[in-house]
């Protein structure tokens, strides 16, 4: 069966690269917001202001790295699952001897690998251009911590996406929730601003919710490594969220599949 | 203990809860019984066709037999499994094709997505090439199989999807409207392909179609459904024979003669012609009787077409 996921990944990659214009334009999708963020931060710091305790170079490094983690782990609308449930496409998946969750995980991260690669290329190119003014202080420990946390973030991110998508078993129309999340999530993940610059309770809440483990913490760790005990606490909190979302997801799936009307 | 039938259905019902008003505060619902307390068994050696008008419960039945829809009451066993448990052994032995619903990837050559089948069901590359050769030749798509799906006609796409649905050679394949949207030639070639796979590989097809000919050409046994109930289950040939009748068209010398014959033999008049319907082969003695008594210029005996018989059975219900 592992061969199936490998084969599926290969086909998905072919499909993802089928439209060259789309692929080329995806570079701009990464580049434009990144340039906007960098220019804004420079402008703020040139005028003597600052954001929290962040130094200019660390903040620029954070935005560069957050661009990659955001591309990799942010919660996006995954139409495939919702359409499968609403239009009956799930019928054929249910009858195939593979796991629907892992099928989608493979397709999702195969397509993501293209956009992640683009994000890495653009981020690195930008870094090469602007590195005269700052350096990303990556050390070996922070790299290890980042890689470990990234694995958990990848799983947590897809669990959240899958869980939100299978709510379509119960609610045929959840566009309002999606629109709301598309506005809130960039803030909640730390893609727009580092979460620790928010004040008081707001910061505490944001730092303890699952979206923080997707973009903020991985990018933060790369700019400033953590002591191992602190990192292990952070990692166990992320794993705890994985378990919580997994339980919510399996319960939703079990109840949802009983309600599934197999339209069509 | 292994059961003797491939499909066993007992007291099966399915009730849908359907919203009847879109009021935000007080939406109202009604219950619709799509399948109502039906029982039957079927042996995998013969193909089974399911006849019925729209809303008869055919597709709901197919979905419950495959396990993707949960019944409201009753029990189902397919290949000694409860389909709704969707165990791997069951999944390995069934296939599903729903007309108009694609499974293959749109933008890459069809052969690439079809090849995923061998990874899913775990058979060798050599075996895949062998099966693909046989299937694509039977379907006459040996060249088209290398094109992306988006460049194909509806008929070619349907053939590709059909091929993908059972290239893993399952024991039972469920076909829901397999020839929907196809032209006469494509429909005919698909039917031939279904019969070829049944004879060559022993695949049992359960076919649900509005196209009566699909079932007449491919299924020795059939179910006739109406409003969620089974009206008939058995040999398709027997059903046709039971309902077959002849139509006799008599040309008489005058309108009056035609009217007289019509009133004596319960016929229909059109000018100098009279049309009489007969069940089975009972027409001969009556025609002799009429010819002996009246001035008949000419007559014609027409046997009712099998498709018309099924249409008549369904429309009478």
Q: Tens digit of pLDDT for each residue in A213-247?
A: 999 999 888 887 789 999 999 999 999 999 999 99
Give tens-digit pLDDT for B183-216.
888 889 889 999 999 999 999 999 998 888 899 9
Longest pairwise C-alpha distance within chain A: 62
For chain A, what percentages of helix, strand and coil (3-state, to nearest 5) are there?
80, 0, 20
Pick from A8, A18, A257: CB nearest B116: A8
What is the predicted pLDDT for the residue at A134? 62
Give the pLDDT mean for B213-241: 90
**pLDDT confidence bin for B3, thresholds 50/70/90:** very low
Distance in angstroms (rounded) separating the CA atoms of residues A154 and A105: 10
Residue (of B100, B163, B83, B91) closest to B131 by Cα position: B163
Q: Quick one: closest CA in A to B112, which residue?
A: A11
Query: Is B2 a residue whose pLDDT tops 70?
Result: no
Q: What is the dihedral of CA A70, A147, A218, A66, to 10 degrees?
A: -40
What is the predicted pLDDT for the residue at B134? 93
The H-or-E segment that residue B248 falls in is strand B245-252
Q: What six digits make up the tokens of B170? A: 């399952």
Give the pLDDT mean for B22-39: 86
Query: Is B283 a residue whose pLDDT tops 70?
Result: no
Interface test with B, best of A5, A11, A99 (most B CBs within 10 A): A11
User: Which residues is A34 bridged to in the sheet?
Assistant: none
Q: Does A96 touch chain B (CB under 8 A)?
A: yes
Q: What six digits make up the tokens of B180? A: 């929907």
Q: What are phi and psi of A245, to 5 degrees?
A: -65, -35
Angle at B276 between CA B270 and CA B278, to 5 degrees: 160
Helix, strand, or coil here: B315? helix
Q: Which residues are CB-contacts of B148 (< 8 A; sequence separation ≥ 6)?
A: A18, B106, B107, B108, B109, B110
Query: Is B284 a residue whose pLDDT tops 90?
Result: no
What is the predicted pLDDT for the residue at B317? 61
Q: What six digits make up the tokens of A154? A: 């990848």
Q: Do A262 and B68 touch (CB under 8 A)?
A: yes
Residue carrying the six token digits 């004040």:
A199
Chain A nearest-CA distance from B20, in A, is 16
Instruction: Return averaged pLDDT per consecutive 10 residues of chain A, 264 residues in all.
Output: 84 80 77 85 82 81 85 78 88 92 92 86 82 69 90 94 91 77 88 88 93 93 87 96 97 92 75
Chain B positions touching A94 (Cβ under 8 A) are 67-68, 86
Give the pLDDT mean for B105-131: 92
């Amino acid at each position: 069966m592992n061969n199936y996921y490998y084969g599926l990944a290969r086909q998905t990659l072919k499909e993802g690269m089928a439209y060259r214009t789309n692929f080329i334009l995806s570079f701009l999708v990464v580049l434009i917001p990144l340039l906007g963020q960098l220019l804004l931060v420079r402008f703020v710091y040139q005028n003597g202001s600052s954001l929290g305790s962040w130094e200019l170079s660390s903040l620029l490094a954070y935005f560069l790295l957050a661009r990659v983690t955001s591309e990799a782990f942010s919660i996006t609308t995954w139409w495939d699952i919702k359409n499968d449930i609403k239009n009956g496409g799930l019928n054929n998946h249910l009858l195939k001897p593979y796991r629907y969750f892992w099928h989608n995980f493979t397709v999702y991260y195969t397509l993501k690998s293209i956009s992640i690669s683009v994000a890495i290329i653009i981020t690195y190119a930008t870094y090469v251009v602007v590195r005269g003014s700052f350096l990303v202080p990556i050390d070996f420990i922070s790299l290890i911590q980042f890689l470990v946390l990234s694995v958990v973030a990848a799983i947590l991110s897809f669990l959240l996406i899958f869980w939100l998508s299978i709510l379509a078993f119960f609610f045929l129309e959840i566009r309002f929730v999606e629109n709301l999340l598309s506005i809130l999530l960039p803030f909640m993940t730390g893609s727009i601003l580092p979460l620790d610059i928010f004040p008081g309770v707001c910061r505490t809440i944001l730092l303890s919710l699952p979206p923080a483990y997707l973009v903020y913490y991985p990018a933060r760790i790369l700019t400033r490594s953590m002591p191992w005990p602190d990192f292990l606490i952070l990692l166990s909190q992320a794993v705890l969220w994985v378990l919580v979302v997994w339980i919510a997801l399996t319960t939703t799936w079990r109840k949802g599949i009983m309600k599934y009307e197999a339209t069509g | 203990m292994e059961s003797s039938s491939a499909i066993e259905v007992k007291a099966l019902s399915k009730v849908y809860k359907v919203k009847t008003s879109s009021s935000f505060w007080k939406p109202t619902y009604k219950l619709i019984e799509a399948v109502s307390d039906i029982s039957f068994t079927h042996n995998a050696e013969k193909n089974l066709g399911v006849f019925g008008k729209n809303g008869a419960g055919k597709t709901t039945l197919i979905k419950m037999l495959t396990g993707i829809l949960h019944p409201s009451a009753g029990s189902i066993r397919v290949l000694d499994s409860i389909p709704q448990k969707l165990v791997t052994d069951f999944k390995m032995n069934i296939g599903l094709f729903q007309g108009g619903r694609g499974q293959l990837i749109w933008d890459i050559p069809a052969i690439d997505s079809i090849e995923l089948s061998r990874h899913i069901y775990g058979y060798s590359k050599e075996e895949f090439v062998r099966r693909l050769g046989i299937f694509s030749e039977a379907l006459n798509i040996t060249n088209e199989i290398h094109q992306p799906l988006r460049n194909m006609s509806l008929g070619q796409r349907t053939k590709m999807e059909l091929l993908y649905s059972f290239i893993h050679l399952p024991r039972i394949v469920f076909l829901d409207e397999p020839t929907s949207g196809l032209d006469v030639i494509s429909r005919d070639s698909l039917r031939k392909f279904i019969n070829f796979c049944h004879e060559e590989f022993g695949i049992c097809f359960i076919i649900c179609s509005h196209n009566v000919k699909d079932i007449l050409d491919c299924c020795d046994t059939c179910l006739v459904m109406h409003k969620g109930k089974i009206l008939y289950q058995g040999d398709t040939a027997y059903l046709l024979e039971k309902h077959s009748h002849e139509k006799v068209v008599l040309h008489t010398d005058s309108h009056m003669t035609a009217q007289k014959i019509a009133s004596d033999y319960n016929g229909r008049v059109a000018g100098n012609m009279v049309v009489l319907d007969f069940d089975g082969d009972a027409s001969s003695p009556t025609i002799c009787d009429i010819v002996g008594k009246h001035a008949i210029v000419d007559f014609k005996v027409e046997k009712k077409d099998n498709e018309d018989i099924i249409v008549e059975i369904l429309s009478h219900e």
